[in-house]
Amino acid sequence: MARTCLAVVLAAGDATRMKSSKSKVLHTVGNLPLIAHVTRAAATAGVNKVALVVGRDADLVTEAASAGLDVPVSPVLQTERKGTGHAVLMARDIITEGFDDVVVLYGDAPLINPESLVAATAERAKGADVVVLGFRAADPTGYGRLLERDGELVAIREHKEASIEELAVDFCNGGIITFSGSKAVGLLEAIGNDNAKGEFYLTDIVEIARSHGLKCIAIEAPEEDMMGCNTRAELAEIEQVWQTRARHGAMLSGVSMIDPSSVFLSHDTVLESDVKIEPNVWFGPGVKVGSGAVIHAFSHLEGADVGANATIGPFARLRPGTELAEKVKVGNFCEIKKAKVGAGAKVNHLSYVGDAVVGAGANIGAGTITCNYDGQNKHLTEIGAGAFIGSNSSLVAPVKIGDGAYVGSGSVVTMDVPDDALAIARVRQETKPGRARRLREKIAAIKALKKKM
């Protein structure tokens, strides 16, 4: 029979050291809240339910933790802060629903790998009553030490309470503990607060379990998996680790990055094989890039679907609602927003296309803008297949340019243009011989007069 598992996620911290107006766990890594990284890792590892211990911004934290999750999330409110043991016990009613395993996770530690959680429950299935995740630290200063004897974990010793011999141990406590669901409440209730802070420490559960003849072990995971976030500086460090992992995974899947460290990815970025990304490219949420596409340097993409073999930038911005078909070209310093661009169409440099539909093979000349906003509402511009829009044209929406139509450069188009028609909407040029010389003389005279005054 499959084992059942409850994840108790501690997310009630006040973010005092973050100096933030919102809960710490709502800050993001890879454009996803910290708490969502944790609950998604738990779901991937196969937990059946999440008990979410919340405090500040409880509703927002619960919403972020639940978004996109296919397992139930039950929030429980912690109104007093009395230590980690007390926080876990807030979920008593959910724990007593009956689970084979209970795993305690932290809402500010988003790098936890689902495989590590699976490994812990596997050790539980083999007979261990308590399983602690630990790591080997290059510098263990400040960390609690995992003390072992004869292959079993005998205690978790806080750094300030450790002896000289114990301080020499480099196996450190990662904070994540999995224990027997049937014994969980009894063990938690046995935790005391006879310490300097008068708090109930979850780490005491190891010695309590051993005093009841239960088996405790520690298993090792990478140190970065356990990284927690208390300050903005630590948040930046976690972001860096997450980005490195995401980039590495993308490159292993067939994506080329000239300078990986300068590329920023989001948690849901989809990059198909043979995509090439130049330096300094930013992917916001909701971006998908098709096979063979090239994203040139200094481009910014968010909420955009880029077709196969398209080319973007450099210095292009794709905003939410952009849908580019295959072989579309978006030139440098272009902005596309809420627009569908057909196969093989070109949006050349310094153009803005917003709230628009552009047909296959159309050419949007340099400096073209769709005037989509009237101060109150947005309006649609339709550009037909094979249409040619001359440079420096303004298309005042709502307006429709037909298939194969041609708009002369510098035009301000306010009326529909039929298929295969030529539209020129500009003042006729006048040329006045000698007037340029006389104009320069007049300007020079005015300048000379100003100097005398």
Confidence at residue 227, expressed as pLDDT on a 0 to 100 scale:
93
Domain 232-423 has CATH 2.160.10.10: yes
What's the per-residue H, E or C state across the chain?
CCCCEEEEEEECCCCCCCCCCCCHHHCEECCEEHHHHHHHHHHHHCCCEEEEEEECEHHHHHHHHHCCCCCCEEEEECCCCCCHHHHHHCCHHHHCCCCCEEEEEECCCCCCCHHHHHHHHHHHHCCCCEEEEEEECCCCCCCCEEEEECCEEEEEECHHHCCHHHHCCCEEEEEEEEEECCCHHHHHHCCCCCCCCCCCCHHHHHHHHHHCCCCEEEEECCHHHHCCCCCHHHHHHHHHHHHHHHHHHHHHCCCEECCHHHCECCCCCEECCCCEECCCCEECCCCEECCCCEECCCCEECCEEECCCCEECCCCEECCCEEECCCCEECCCCEEEEEEECCCCEECCCCEEEEEEECCCCEECCCCEEECECCCCECCEEECCCCEECCCCEEECCEEECCCCEECCCCEECCCECCCCEECCCCCCCCCCCHHHHHHHHHHHHHHHHHHC
In the predicted model, is pLDDT for residue 180 greater than 60? Answer: yes
- Provide the pLDDT confidence category of residue 422 given band limits of 50, 70 and 90: very high
In the predicted model, is pLDDT for residue 213 greater than 90? Answer: yes
- Provide the pLDDT confidence category of residue 147 given band limits of 50, 70 and 90: very high
The CATH homologous superfamily to which domain 5-226 belongs is Spore Coat Polysaccharide Biosynthesis Protein SpsA; Chain A (3.90.550.10)
Confidence at residue 87, expressed as pLDDT on a 0 to 100 scale:
94
In the predicted model, is pLDDT for residue 389 greater than 70? Answer: yes
- Provide the pLDDT confidence category of residue 444 given band limits of 50, 70 and 90: very high
Q: What percent of the chain has pLDDT over 90?
A: 89
In the predicted model, is pLDDT for residue 1 greater than 70? Answer: no
User: What does the pLDDT average to over 75-81?
Assistant: 91
Domain ranges of the chain: 5-226, 232-423
- Provide the pLDDT confidence category of residue 2 given band limits of 50, 70 and 90: confident
User: What does the pLDDT average to over 66-70?
Assistant: 94
Which residues does the annotation mark as catalytic? 349
Q: What's the pTM?
A: 0.91
pLDDT digits (tens, 9 = 90+) for 21-62: 899 999 999 999 999 999 999 999 999 999 999 999 999 999
